[in-house]
Structure 1
Amino acid sequence: WELALIDAALAAGTPLLGICRGMQLLNVALGGTLVQHIDGHAEVPGVFGRHGVKPVPGTRYADTVPEETAVPTFHHQAVDRLGTGLLPSAHADDGTVEAIELPAGHTWVLGVQWHPEMGEDLRVMRALITAAS
């Protein structure tokens, strides 16, 4: 049902923000694949950690958050092969794709590997609200 919701949002042109597993599902919905396990992105099992994320210049995410930031994170899966049309828009220091998006000219679609709703930096959440208003 989650893949059907993503498909429906994309078909309707509804702004879409995929958070953590939501980013992974967005990638899979567009034909991408996942790395089934990575180390170093969950400090203590069951507890959110933090690590740096660097935006890719020229992306929607970089327009929203232009500088490197530390983000609240807890994940062990990540994007492997990008889904059709998706661009990487942020990376962790180890090269892991931390944000994906559809490029300008498409509906506002962003996926982030971390939990922006859990941190103090609300720019990603504000960008979704702005896109939806």
Structure 2
Amino acid sequence: MADRPLIGISTYLESSARWGVWDLAAALVPAGYPRMVQQAGGLAAMLPPDVPEHAPDAVARLDGLVIAGGPDVDPARYGAERDPRTGPPAHARDTWELALIDAALAAGTPLLGICRGMQLLNIAVGGTLVQHLDGHTEAPGVFGRHPVKPVPGTRYAAIVAEETAVPTYHHQALDRLGSGLVPCAHAADGTVEAVELPGPHWVLGVQWHPEMGEDPRVMRALVTAAAAS
């Protein structure tokens, strides 16, 4: 494409990260995310946590938005008590990414939520989460794989028509779907693996980690939508 669309990627904010002789606080994101955007024809921009009031200005400068994977969302965000197996909260990131999602939905900016990003999308429109499920994670720090089956007639099925094995690493999932969201892919155990908002704007969430695999179709679809928006 002649003009590469600018795709923002939300980032981690870590109190300690090491490189060379340094051990410092850092805003970071796994390299698979920007590499996936670049290979799909986009330009990648990192979006570290900021005050939520800045989210509309940030989104206004973007052609598309990726909400990346990461830690568990604070259950208070969807009105639930904390399960002992839920990880520690990342309050600044929750606040910033929910504001980014709200801004993208309001502006009609193409949006892709990945793992935690799909869960936050669901919460942003009034949904809830299952705080723990088994069978979707290997050993700590090791991605597994399992097949996901598209729902015919959905946007995701138009992108990936066949059942596909995908890289997975999660112990939470969607429970009650938020307003307007429809499931567009499932795992064999019935877990919702992808959701979308039908309508003119491109909004998709996937529970797996496409940045850890070899299938570029989901990101290419986002970049194509961003170039057309």
Q: TM-score range by the shorter chain?
A: over 0.9
Q: SS in structure 2 opposite 1:51?
A: strand
Q: How far does the alpha carbon of each residue in 1:56-112 deviate from its partner, in whole angstroms, 9 at most, with x for none?
A: 000000000000000001000000000000000000000000000001x23100000
The reply to whether residue 37 of structure 1 matches residue 158 of structure 2 is no
Larger radius of gyration: 2
Q: How far does the alpha carbon of each residue in 1:15-54 deviate from its partner, in whole angstroms, 9 at most, with x for none?
A: 0000000000000000000000000000212211100000
TM-score, reference length from structure 1: 0.98
Match of 1:92 in 2: 187
Q: SS in structure 1 opposite 2:195?
A: strand
Match of 1:110 among 191, 195, 204: 204
Match of 1:120 in 2: 214
The reply to whether residue 101 of structure 1 matches residue 196 of structure 2 is yes
RMSD (Å) for aligned C-alpha atoms: 0.6
Matches within 5 A, 1:1-133: 1-103=96-198, 105-133=199-227
Q: SS in structure 2 opposite 1:28?
A: helix
TM-score, reference length from structure 2: 0.57
CA distance in 2, matches of 1:119, 1:45: 18
CA distance in 1, matches of 2:159, 2:206: 13
Q: SS in structure 2 opposite 1:4?
A: helix
Q: Structure 2: which 5+ residue stretches go unaligned? A: 1-95
CA distance in 2, matches of 1:115, 1:4: 22
Identity of aligned residues (%): 84
Question: Alignment length, in residue pairs?
Answer: 132
CA distance in 2, matches of 1:17, 1:43: 24
Structure 1 runs of 4+ with >6 Å offset: none
